[in-house]
């Protein structure tokens, strides 16, 4: 009986260590399964803002996670398509998001977006963000581009197609992103 108790106590003591080792092993798949999609995307975008590169699998993971935050392609967006690509730079990676007018790589862009990790908006920067989109600081040129700060993330939208050069339509579309989730990154 004494030997079984000792083994049981030893096993209970080793469980946290085994869990920590398992989380470090096999790369992103285990780490991704252990966190929420928002916290995982936050981790990857923050790392992308630093020197170095994400792995191809991590870049694909960012693209998949960002796709979940995009407006649905229904109603006024029916017939459009999203194209999402992670742009890995030496420092300051960003996610390119294109709203395409139709399907396929050759389809023209209606709007292009960049999703960039910036960190907290400083007091000095706040003056440049004099407009609002809902509760989020914004700036831009009406009917041309709209930049929104949601937490540590900046979402930049630039209209290319004439229908989206209408300021209310551009603001409506940017407001359909899951800005609350972006603010939690």
Tens of pLDDT along 85-94? 999 998 889 9
Determine the pLDDT at residue 10.
33
- Separation of alpha carbons 117 and 91, rounded Å: 11
Tens of pLDDT along 9-31? 333 333 333 333 333 233 444 44
Between residues 153 and 10, the one the model is more confident about: 153
Helix axes 56-67, 37-48, angle to 10 degrees: 130
pTM score: 0.79
- Separation of alpha carbons 53 and 61, rounded Å: 14
In the predicted model, is pLDDT for residue 180 greater than 60? yes
- Separation of alpha carbons 116 and 30, rounded Å: 25
Tens of pLDDT along 120-129? 999 999 999 9
Between residues 35 and 21, the one the model is more confident about: 35
In the chain, where are the structural domains located?
1-34, 35-183
Q: Is the torsion defined by CA of 72, 77, 79, 81 positive or negative? A: negative
Average pLDDT over residues 141-162: 96
Band of residue 83 on the pLDDT scale cut at 50, 70, 90: very high
Average pLDDT over residues 175-179: 97
């Amino acid at each position: 009986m004494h030997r079984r108790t000792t083994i049981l106590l030893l096993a209970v003591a080793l469980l946290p260590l085994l869990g920590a080792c398992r989380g470090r092993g096999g790369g992103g798949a285990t780490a991704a399964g252990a966190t929420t999609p928002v916290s995982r995307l936050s981790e990857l975008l923050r790392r992308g803002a630093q020197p170095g590169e994400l792995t191809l699998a991590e870049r694909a993971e960012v693209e998949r996670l960002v796709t979940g935050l995009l407006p649905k392609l229904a109603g006024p967006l029916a017939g459009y398509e999203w194209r999402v690509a992670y742009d890995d730079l030496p420092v300051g990676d960003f996610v390119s998001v294109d709203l395409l007018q139709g399907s396929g790589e050759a389809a023209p862009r209606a709007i292009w977006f960049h999703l960039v990790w910036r960190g907290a908006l400083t007091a000095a920067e706040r003056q440049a963000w004099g407009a609002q989109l809902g509760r989020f600081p914004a700036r831009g040129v009406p009917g041309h581009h709209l930049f929104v700060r949601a937490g540590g993330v900046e979402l930049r939208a630039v209209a290319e197609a004439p229908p989206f050069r209408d300021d209310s339509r551009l603001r409506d579309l940017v407001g359909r992103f899951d800005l609350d989730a972006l603010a939690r990154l």
